Amino acid sequence: MKIVFLDKSTVGNVSNLELLNEFGEVICYDETSADQTIDRSSGADIIITNKVIIDKKVIDANPDIKLICIAATGMNNVDLDYAAEKGIVVKNVSGYSTFSVTQSTFAMLFSLINSIHYYDNYVKSGSYSKSPIFTHHDREFAEIKGKTFGIIGLGVIGQSVAKIADAFGCKVVYYSTSGNNTSQPYPCLKLDELLSKSDIISIHAPLNEKTNNLIDLGRLKTMKSTAVLINAGRGNIVNERDLAYAIDHEIIAGAALDVFGQEPIQADNPLLKVQNKENLIMVPHIAWASKESREMLIKGIYQNISEYMKHV
């Protein structure tokens, strides 16, 4: 088998990528642009893609393709209907990033509410060395114990976050974006009620017609002025222009974002122009990307290819 990984850089340096050599020749490209996809897929039996689009044009130009492995959970970069019509098997990987996203959610939360960057700079700048007392109180922080922790999207990751929040002594509530997940061991609220009652709101939902632009200025205004918002779901769930406005006008206390409407973030994104920078944390879609998570992803691709090979 000839296996082509079109965007290996999206998974970084992983120690177990050599597992794929078991199945045949493996060719890896760090990145592949749209105009390179057809040529690089030529002669491949198996395509591995994270974000590279595999559409009708690519499939028609490469009749040797038998299996498309998506190095992610989301499958919207592949024309699934046309692949099925052509007898091409498409496999994704799920469940590999649950603990990584959970850990990253709380890392962002604590960095935001505990003002870690401010205090770190206070010490490193030499200001602490000049202090007449042993501590410093210029930026207050509060414990999350006893706070209401609202989760938008209580799937596998949302449930994992809920367990940790519960362990910290938070009152966990949630909103089901599908409207079907209503039997969890936490109160299920309507969205506006969750927003108005929660001190911490964490998003772990997929992007679809029900969640696109779900959190706009109107919804941000229903939140407590002391509340913080975390988005580890998908960027377009939160209206970025409205969020920037809400932070600078102190409609909410702050936000932490791992995802953006366009990735990489565009240079003209209003979030990059926020004046109250200390109330906004942004990281480059890394919540999923622990070393262990990326190795589990490769293992999942290996298992998908192995399962396919059993039936050919």
The residues annotated as belonging to the active site are: 234, 263, 285
Separation between Cα atoms, residue 69 and residue 77, nearest integer Å: 11
Under a CB-based contact definition with an 8 Å cutoff, are residues 241 and 214 in contact? no
Separation between Cα atoms, residue 99 and residue 104, nearest integer Å: 8
Cis peptide bond upstream of 264, omega within 30: yes
DSSP the chain: -EEEETTGGGG-S-TTGGGGGGGSEEEE-S---TTTHHHHHTT-SEEEESSS-B-HHHHHH-TT--EEEESSS--TTB-HHHHHHTT-EEE---SSSHHHHHHHHHHHHHHHHTTHHHHHHHHHTTTGGG-SSS---SS-----TT-EEEEE--SHHHHHHHHHHHHTT-EEEEE-SSS----SSS-B--HHHHHHH-SEEEE----STTTTT-B-HHHHHHS-TT-EEEE-S-GGGB-HHHHHHHHHTTSSSEEEES--SSSSPPTT-GGGG-S-GGGEEE--S-TT--HHHHHHHHHHHHHHHHHHHTT-
